[in-house]
């Protein structure tokens, strides 16, 4: 069945149960208000420290937005973009789009203006819904992108180049729109970038979305009594597809805006969270704060917390050992997936397999896995090859890119681009990434974009951007820069030059050195990783 029917079922059966809670600790911390003062504040939905909605209200909000879209001409297979920070509006808007039969198109909140425009054009987006954090970026391209699409603004003080979402939905019906949606209908487009740097549009149908619900609940056993703490951005398949377990079970979810250890611990305690999905840096920060005594476990109510799981990047076994020292009775799981396989879970460790931490695990619920050589033949157990997955969550295609689709989809098999091996017990370990994507703090960073930018510097002859190991973030970006003969550039000058890049793309380390290339002219990045990665590991060990 289409995933929208799960929301409608919850609205009928659990109408008055809380579905979503939004917590914004930064507001409370910035204002330094007491709980009593907070309770007496004049209502202002976008400024509140804590807001919540029931399943009935969630569904009504989705219906109102769906009816608004239909009134503005949106129909099946049209596309509506979402450029919002996490909040109570995000998921009702997402489901409102799906209820029209249109496709939801979430955008990375870190995109610069040119990337936003590129993705809107690539996905043929008809309406863009955006929030306060993006006014400046959207304004830069508003004249161009509004020529063939509408702009809806979610927030206070609507800019002149957009229409006010709050005013419009208030006058729309809360009744379910009469649109027939089938399992095979297209549902969403997510974005991923390949080695070319620019994002590719990943098309999924309702079968994919529903399968991710089943995978999540099968792996982590959510019930109506569970409370899921969701911290990562909802534009990402990881966060949303883990929340899908709550959707399927009718359980509450808490959207936490902020990643400080005390924010996470406070939310777990006050909201009685039972499940939390973390990225490695957040778990690392929490453990470090507990080691220092900045956070004292006895100050929080934690007995109900039963499961912590991690995804989006390699997980150091030492981190999980430390976590279990503090939380010896917790379950733990590692999740592996791609946006092309509708997010996490096509491979997972399994809560019963903590003795195998370091592996990404075994095939997930409803998934098949194989590891193949460069000829597509399955390697022997223990051999290294490319990891391939098959299941109901595999993407339909890269939208409007048949060539790229053919490269990654071979029949029903999705070739992940990750090199892996399987041990004698059947557990899969990642060996290296076939592509050069850097994963820093759970966020994908694409070297080609940074390299292309740095090459604009007049003193640069050549550049290679690689990932170096980092205890907290997993990896950091390092730019190896070869200077032209007779040219000069300092580290300070290059850092100043890179300020024009979005913050997350700025190299964290600048190294001036020659760039090795092989006889065919390709940069030998494995050699660079070996040289500078080993140096960094030695430096970190000496520090520790």
Which residues lie closer than 8 Å to 30 by C-beta, 6 or more apart?
none
Domain annotation covers residue 447? yes
Taking the CA atoms of residue 5, residue 230, residue 85 and residue 187 in that order, the dihedral angle to the nearest 10 degrees is -30
3-state secondary structure 409-429: EECCEEEEEEEEEECCCCCEE
Both 408 and 503 in one domain: the answer is: no
Both 460 and 336 in one domain: the answer is: no
Q: Provide the domain count of the chain.
A: 3
Are the CB atoms for 49 and 38 separated by under 8 Å? Answer: yes
Strand order in the sheet with 460-470: 460-470, 474-483, 509-512
Distances (CA, A) of 286 to 32, 280, 294, 540: 23, 10, 9, 20
Distance, in Å, from the CA atom of 271 to the CA atom of 21, rounded to the nearest integer, reads 9
Domain annotation covers residue 124? yes
Query: Final residue of a domain: which of 193, 228, 258?
Result: 258
Distance, in Å, from the CA atom of 362 to the CA atom of 336, rounded to the nearest integer, reads 10
Both 48 and 166 in one domain: the answer is: yes
Residue 141: closest CA among 123, 118, 109: 118
Q: Residue 270: left (phi > 0), alpha (psi -120 to 50), or beta? A: alpha
Per-residue pLDDT tens listing for the chain (544 residues): 899 999 999 999 999 999 999 999 877 555 444 444 444 444 444 345 899 999 999 999 999 999 999 999 999 999 999 999 999 999 999 999 999 999 999 999 989 999 999 999 999 999 999 999 999 999 999 999 999 999 999 999 999 999 999 999 999 999 999 999 999 999 999 998 543 457 899 999 999 999 999 999 999 999 999 999 999 899 988 888 999 999 999 999 999 999 999 999 999 999 999 999 998 878 888 998 998 899 999 999 999 999 999 876 667 787 888 899 999 999 999 999 999 999 889 999 999 999 998 899 999 999 999 999 989 999 999 998 899 999 999 999 999 999 999 999 999 999 998 888 999 999 998 876 666 778 888 777 878 778 878 988 989 888 999 999 888 888 999 999 999 888 899 999 999 999 999 888 899 999 999 988 754 446 788 889 888 886 665 565 555 5
Both 90 and 220 in one domain: the answer is: yes
Both 245 and 182 in one domain: the answer is: yes
Both 470 and 496 in one domain: the answer is: yes
- Burial (CB count <10 Å: 0-12, 13-18, 19+), residue 456: exposed
Q: What is the CATH number of the domain that holds 75?
A: 3.40.50.12780
Both 426 and 500 in one domain: the answer is: no
Angle between helices 206-220 and 237-249 (to 10 degrees): 70
Three-state DSSP at 324 gives helix
Both 429 and 483 in one domain: the answer is: no
Residue 436: closest CA among 457, 464, 397: 464
Domain annotation covers residue 277? no
Residue 393: closest CA among 178, 208, 121, 152: 208
Angle between helices 237-249 and 4-13 (to 10 degrees): 40
Are the CB atoms for 533 and 469 separated by under 8 Å? Answer: yes
Domain that holds residue 143: 4-258
Both 230 and 153 in one domain: the answer is: yes
Distance, in Å, from the CA atom of 382 to the CA atom of 114, rounded to the nearest integer, reads 44
Both 210 and 326 in one domain: the answer is: no
Phi, psi of 205 (to 5 degrees): -105, 180
Write down the pTM of the prediction.
0.82
Distance, in Å, from the CA atom of 541 to the CA atom of 60, rounded to the nearest integer, reads 55
Domain annotation covers residue 265? no
């Amino acid at each position: 069945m289409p995933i929208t029917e799960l929301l409608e079922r919850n609205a009928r059966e659990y109408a008055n149960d809380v579905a979503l809670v939004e917590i914004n600790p930064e507001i409370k911390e910035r204002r330094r208000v007491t709980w009593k003062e907070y309770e007496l504040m004049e209502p202002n939905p976008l400024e509140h420290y804590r807001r919540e909605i029931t399943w009935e209200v969630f569904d009504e909000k989705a219906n109102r937005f769906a009816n608004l879209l239909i009134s503005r001409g949106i129909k099946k297979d049209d596309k509506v973009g979402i450029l919002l920070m996490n909040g109570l509006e995000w998921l009702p808007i997402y489901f409102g789009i799906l209820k029209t039969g249109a496709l939801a198109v979430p955008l990375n909140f870190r995109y610069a203006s040119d990337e936003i425009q590129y993705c809107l054009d690539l996905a043929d987006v008809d309406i863009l819904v955006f929030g306060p954090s993006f006014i400046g970026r959207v304004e830069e391209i508003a004249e161009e992108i509004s020529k063939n699409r509408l702009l809806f603004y979610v927030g206070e003080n609507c800019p002149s180049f957009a229409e006010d979402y709050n005013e419009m939905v208030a006058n729309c019906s809360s009744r379910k729109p009469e649109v027939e949606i089938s399992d095979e209908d297209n549902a969403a487009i997510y974005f991923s970038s390949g080695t070319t740097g620019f994002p590719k549009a990943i098309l999924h149908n309702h079968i994919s979305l529903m399968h991710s619900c089943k995978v999540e609940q099968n792996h982590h056993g959510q019930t109506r009594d569970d409370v899921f703490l969701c911290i990562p951005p909802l534009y990402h398949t990881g966060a949303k597809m883990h929340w899908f377990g709550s959707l399927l079970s009718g359980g509450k979810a808490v959207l936490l805006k902020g990643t400080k250890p005390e924010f996470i611990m406070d939310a777990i305690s006050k909201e009685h969270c039972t499940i939390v999905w973390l990225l490695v840096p957040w778990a690392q920060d929490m453990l470090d704060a507990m080691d220092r005594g900045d956070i004292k476990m006895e100050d929080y109510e934690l007995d109900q917390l039963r499961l912590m799981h991690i995804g989006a990047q390699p997980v150091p076994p030492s981190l999980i050992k430390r976590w279990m020292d503090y939380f010896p009775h917790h379950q733990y799981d590692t999740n592996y997936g791609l946006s092309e396989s509708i997010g996490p879970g096509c491979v997972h460790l399994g809560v019963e397999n903590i003795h195998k931490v370091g592996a990404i695990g075994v095939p997930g619920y409803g998934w098949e896995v194989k590891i193949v050589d460069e000829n597509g033949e399955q390697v022997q157990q223990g051999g290294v090859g490319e990891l391939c997955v098959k299941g109901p969550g595999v993407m339909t295609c890269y939208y409007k890119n048949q060539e790229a689709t053919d490269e990654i989809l071979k029949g029903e098999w999705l070739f992940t681009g990750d090199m892996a091996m399987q041990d004698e017990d059947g557990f899969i370990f990642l060996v290296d990434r076939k592509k050069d994507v850097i994963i820093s703090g759970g966020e994908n960073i694409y070297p080609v974009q940074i390299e292309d930018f740095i090459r604009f510097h007049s003193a640069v002859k050549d550049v290679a951007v690689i990932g170096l190991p980092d205890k907290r973030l997993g990896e950091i970006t390092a730019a190896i820069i070869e200077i032209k003969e007779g040219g000069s550039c300092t580290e300070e000058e290059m850092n100043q030059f890179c300020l024009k890049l979005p913050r997350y793309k700025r190299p964290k380390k600048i190294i001036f050195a020659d760039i090795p290339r092989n006889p065919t002219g390709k940069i030998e990045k494995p050699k660079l990783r070996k040289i500078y990665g080993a140096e960094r590991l030695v430096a970190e060990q000496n520090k520790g």
